[in-house]
Amino acid sequence: MTRLIDQYLSGELSSDDRRIFEERMESSEQLRQEVETQRTIQEAAKRAAQRGEIKKVRKGYHLKRLLKWSSIGLSGIALLFTAGYVVSNSMNDPSSVDESLMNELNDLAQINDLPAQYFAIPEEGALVMSEEGVLISVPEGAFLLNGKVYKGATVVQFQEAMKASSIVKAGLSTMSGDRLLETQGMFGVAGFTEEGQALEFNPKVGVYIQVPVDEYKDGMQLFSGVKDAQGSIDWQNPVPLAKIPVPVDMSELDFYPQAYEPYLNSVQWKKDKKSRDSLYLSFDCPDCESASVNAVGIVPHRRITAEESIYLYGSDARAIDELMTVEEALQLSEWAEGPNWEGDFSAYSRDTLDWGIFDICNSDLPMYVQPSNVLAFWNKKFNKTNLSTREFEQRMRAIHGTCNNEVLKKYTSQLRKSLSDIDRQVVAMGYPEFERFAAENLAPLNPQNAHIDHLEKFYRTGIEKLQYRAEKWREKEQNRQHNWDKETNNQRDKERTRTAQRETDVLMEEFDFNMKDVKRQIGNSVGFTLTHGGGTIVNIDKYVWDATVSRTSTTITDPFTGKTAEIVYKDFSFEVENADKYIKLFAYVFPHELNSYHRLDGKKGKFSFPLNNAILYDVAVVGVKENGYDYFQKQSFRQGDLGTVRLEHISEAKMEASIEQLNKKRNSKAIHISDEIQWLTRERADYKEQKMRKEMAEFRSNVAGSLFPCMRTETLHKGGQRQ
């Protein structure tokens, strides 16, 4: 039944079936209702599609800053930074320690029966690695000699028992008092001057040791070994472990949002980092940042939770100022209301805040970690800082997940602090997912590095430069598109004027031609009248005019002389093969005897146009396609059905030349056609341009989806319904 009604509504029924159907409708109320319901459903489907259009406009409105400009010159990005400073923390060669000294020191070893390794550390400090992979960082001034900071080269003696077998071999106990300890390794460290004089650890600087473990166990602590009279060791004074992150070269780290590269790889986009950085930077949106700063960073100093936003809307009468200070609430209202806000502080009401919070929770302003803020530190300059570590790489993924630039800023503005200290700050901002990072209990990487102050400043100017660069590209591309559209519209305007002019010209010319022809046939009869039919008097001009306009054959009889004149139009038609594949398809018909010409649009590749039999014609058919032109021409004919015509590929220059030739050779005063050809080439270029823009917009919207996890990306059309 549904099918039948649908066919009826779409007019697909044959006239007989239709009649029967309508008769049935007359007699059946139920059928009438069914038809009506189905008609309404069709209308509602149309309405839903229209709603989709409005959603698109909405999306465009909210995201215009970000996605309006759809493509950007993705080449020629110079990275902002040149080579960074060189750090001399190369691994030291243990063999450079004097052998006799080593023998001497072996007797002083902390742990008996455990071979010692020796490292020569220069005065400025160094980072070395033991045979078992333990990292030992000895900064400048790590040791004291007679209570004073020791300056000079150091020999570090290091013993390690990492594996159970070496622990047993060395006869080490794992007892603390009478408690048995689980161990992840034991080691002894001592420092000596080059002369073999023992040094003490400087408690203000210390030596950092990082032990590789297969598994991170919570609650592992560092115990100090105390030898008893028998020489066996009791482990005492446990302290929590702190780990120093391992610096890695920036070029080995990945700070992009997690889905970014997999997406680009899946569409086989350019692989080099320069291009990918550049594409990433093109999504920079300083406005979005300020919105997120104001809304989330400053007010109310933390993310508004889903729960909060729910009961703010609900009937729950709890006052908002339980959640935030009045001050914050006011800032929030101001932000929500924008610059037009009157600033009436007494009007602080639940309603205003409702709006403010609604805007933050539901705003389509994309909130995300700004690309400029990421790229500004992702370079060699920041090697050997907290940021150039695998540990920070992991955090960066989580930072992208917060979509809050303020979180990133916590890390980039406190390079001296340990990552774990900052993790705790982030947890306090309302991101409990950072607790697991805080628990890693990292130590600061190199708090003494005087370079860091400069780096923080450098970072800020770096962001500005990148933002400026992104803005410039954006402007450049917008200008280019604007100028392109302007020129295209300009050419279209000209084309319309020209076409109107040409159509008038060709009509008037043909009218004159026909007038002369008729006069030639019936003799000199200018201005006299003819009676026609029922005796009404008409002018000869009118007959000729009407015949010319309607392009139909007409016979005119002069009632005085009985002479007849004929204007004859004969059919001319053809069909273009595969007409669908053309962006534009035109036939230019050149009358030999007239100066102007006709341009035919055809219908789905079918052309028919009555030709004046007194005139000889040429035709040129041009099919504009994305990758060039197809062309066909035929000369000197008066009528006929050419059947199906196949256009052949032709170069632009050759097409231009052929049309010019056809146009000129017919008569000496033929009007110019070069403007027309110029317009045709423009239309083709514009088709490509628009296609490129569309593809670029789609691409960018997909990339945006991979870049910004918090951005809502509803697919167009499919999102036509209300959520």
Instruction: Report, in Å, the least distance between residue 527 CB and another protein.
Output: 7
- Could you tell me which of 567, 700, 694 has the C-alpha nearest to residue 626? 694
Instruction: Report, in Å, the least distance between residue 536 CB and another protein.
Output: 5
**Is 10 or 82 the residue whose CB approaches another protein more closely?**
10
**Is 44 or 326 the residue whose CB approaches another protein more closely?**
44
Among 106, 362, 608, 667, contact with another protein (rule: CB under 8 A)? 362
Q: Which residues partner with 630 through β-bridges?
A: 623, 649
**Is 435 or 485 the residue whose CB approaches another protein more closely?**
485
Instruction: Report, in Å, the least distance between residue 64 CB and another protein.
Output: 9
Instruction: Report, in Å, the least distance between residue 612 CB and another protein.
Output: 15
Does 221 interact with another protein (rule: CB under 8 A)? no
**Is 532 or 581 the residue whose CB approaches another protein more closely?**
532
**Is 496 or 603 the residue whose CB approaches another protein more closely?**
496
Q: Which residues contact 88 (CB under 8 A, 6 or more apart)?
A: 124, 126
Interacting positions 13-42 with another protein (CB under 8 A):
37-38, 40-42
Q: Which residues contact 427 (CB under 8 A, 6 or more apart)?
A: 434, 435, 438
Among 78, 86, 239, 537, contact with another protein (rule: CB under 8 A)? 537
Q: How many CA atoms lie within 13 A of 552 on its CB side?
A: 5
Instruction: Report, in Å, the least distance between residue 34 CB and another protein.
Output: 8
E strands, 194-292, where? 198-201, 208-210, 221-227, 233-240
**Is 32 or 457 the residue whose CB approaches another protein more closely?**
32
Instruction: Report, in Å, the least distance between residue 708 CB and another protein.
Output: 21
| C-beta of residue 97 within 8 angstroms of C-beta of residue 155 | yes
> In what helix (H) or strand (E) does residue 456 lie, and over which residues does it extend?
helix 451-522
Among 254, 541, 626, 641, contact with another protein (rule: CB under 8 A)? 541
User: Beta strand pairing status for 116-121 and 186-193?
Assistant: unpaired
Instruction: Report, in Å, the least distance between residue 163 CB and another protein.
Output: 59
**Is 479 or 529 the residue whose CB approaches another protein more closely?**
529
**Is 186 or 330 the residue whose CB approaches another protein more closely?**
330
* CB neighbours of residue 349 within 10 Å: 12
User: Beta strand pairing status for 564-567 and 233-240?
Assistant: unpaired
| Phi, psi angle pair for 557, to nearest 5° | -110, 130
- Could you tell me which of 127, 120, 119, 158 has the C-alpha nearest to residue 449? 127
Q: Which stretch binds another protein (CB under 8 A): 169-177, 266-274, 381-389, 536-544?
A: 536-544
Please tell me what DSSP assigns to residue 638: S
Instruction: Report, in Å, the least distance between residue 278 CB and another protein.
Output: 30
Q: Which stretch binds another protein (CB under 8 A): 166-174, 354-362, 427-435, 683-691?
A: 354-362
**Is 48 or 226 the residue whose CB approaches another protein more closely?**
48
Measured distance CA(614)–CA(397) in Å, rounded: 80
Residue with tokens 């009632």: 559
Number of H helices, E strands in the chain: 20, 27
Number of residues that bind another protein (CB under 8 A): 68
Binding mask 488-527 for another protein (x = CB under 8 A): -x--xx--xx--x--xx--xx------------------x
Measured distance CA(4)–CA(22) in Å, rounded: 12
**Is 336 or 399 the residue whose CB approaches another protein more closely?**
336
**Is 348 or 355 the residue whose CB approaches another protein more closely?**
355
Residue with tokens 């916590």: 410
* CB neighbours of residue 3 within 10 Å: 8
**Is 304 or 662 the residue whose CB approaches another protein more closely?**
304
Among 543, 597, 607, 632, contact with another protein (rule: CB under 8 A)? 543
Measured distance CA(353)–CA(309) in Å, rounded: 11
**Is 652 or 675 the residue whose CB approaches another protein more closely?**
675
Q: 562-582 b/e with 16+ CB inside 10 Å = b?
A: eeebebbbeebebbbeebeeb
Measured distance CA(445)–CA(418) in Å, rounded: 7
Q: Which residues contact 480 (CB under 8 A, 6 or more apart)?
A: none
Q: Which residues partner with 189 through β-bridges?
A: 158
Interacting positions 190-209 with another protein (CB under 8 A):
none
Does 546 interact with another protein (rule: CB under 8 A)? yes
| CA–CA distances in Å: residue 416 to residues 202, 410, 444, 455 | 20, 12, 7, 11
Instruction: Report, in Å, the least distance between residue 578 CB and another protein.
Output: 16
Residue with tokens 């039948």: 4
| C-beta of residue 712 within 8 angstroms of C-beta of residue 701 | no
Q: Which residues contact 227 (CB under 8 A, 6 or more apart)?
A: 233
Interacting positions 374-403 with another protein (CB under 8 A):
none
Measured distance CA(295)–CA(301) in Å, rounded: 9
Among 151, 169, 318, 542, contact with another protein (rule: CB under 8 A)? 542
Does 351 interact with another protein (rule: CB under 8 A)? yes
Instruction: Report, in Å, the least distance between residue 550 CB and another protein.
Output: 4
Q: What does the block give as tokens for 218?
A: 């919570």
Helix 2-9 × helix 15-27 angle, to 10°: 110
User: Beta strand pairing status for 569-570 and 233-240?
Assistant: unpaired
Instruction: Report, in Å, the least distance between residue 382 CB and another protein.
Output: 41
**Is 4 or 77 the residue whose CB approaches another protein more closely?**
4
Does 688 interact with another protein (rule: CB under 8 A)? no
E strands, 122-169, where? 125-129, 135-139, 143-145, 148-149, 154-161
Q: Which residues contact 43 (CB under 8 A, 6 or more apart)?
A: none
Instruction: Report, in Å, the least distance between residue 5 CB and another protein.
Output: 8
Binding mask 311-350 for another protein (x = CB under 8 A): --x------------------------x-x----------
| C-beta of residue 575 within 8 angstroms of C-beta of residue 606 | yes
3-state DSSP call for residue 4? helix
Binding mask 45-64 for another protein (x = CB under 8 A): xxxxxxxxxxx-xx-xx---
Instruction: Report, in Å, the least distance between residue 531 CB and another protein.
Output: 11
Instruction: Report, in Å, the least distance between residue 30 CB and another protein.
Output: 13
**Is 231 or 535 the residue whose CB approaches another protein more closely?**
535
Q: Which stretch binds another protein (CB under 8 A): 152-160, 183-191, 485-493, 618-626?
A: 485-493
Interacting positions 550-569 with another protein (CB under 8 A):
550-554
Instruction: Report, in Å, the least distance between residue 524 CB and another protein.
Output: 17
**Is 326 or 538 the residue whose CB approaches another protein more closely?**
538
**Is 44 or 87 the residue whose CB approaches another protein more closely?**
44
Type of residue at 443: A
The C-alpha torsion from 301 through 302 and 307 to 308, rounded to 10°, is: 10
Instruction: Report, in Å, the least distance between residue 322 CB and another protein.
Output: 20
Measured distance CA(299)–CA(42) in Å, rounded: 48
Instruction: Report, in Å, the least distance between residue 305 CB and another protein.
Output: 17
Instruction: Report, in Å, the least distance between residue 53 CB and another protein.
Output: 7
Does 44 interact with another protein (rule: CB under 8 A)? yes
**Is 2 or 636 the residue whose CB approaches another protein more closely?**
2
Q: Is the Cα dihedral 316, 317, 323, 327 positive or negative?
A: positive
Q: Which residues bind another protein (CB under 8 A)?
A: 2-3, 6, 37-38, 40-55, 57-58, 60-61, 313, 338, 340, 351, 354-355, 358-359, 362, 489, 492-493, 496-497, 500, 503-504, 507-508, 527, 529, 532-533, 536-539, 541-543, 545-547, 550-554, 717-718, 720-722
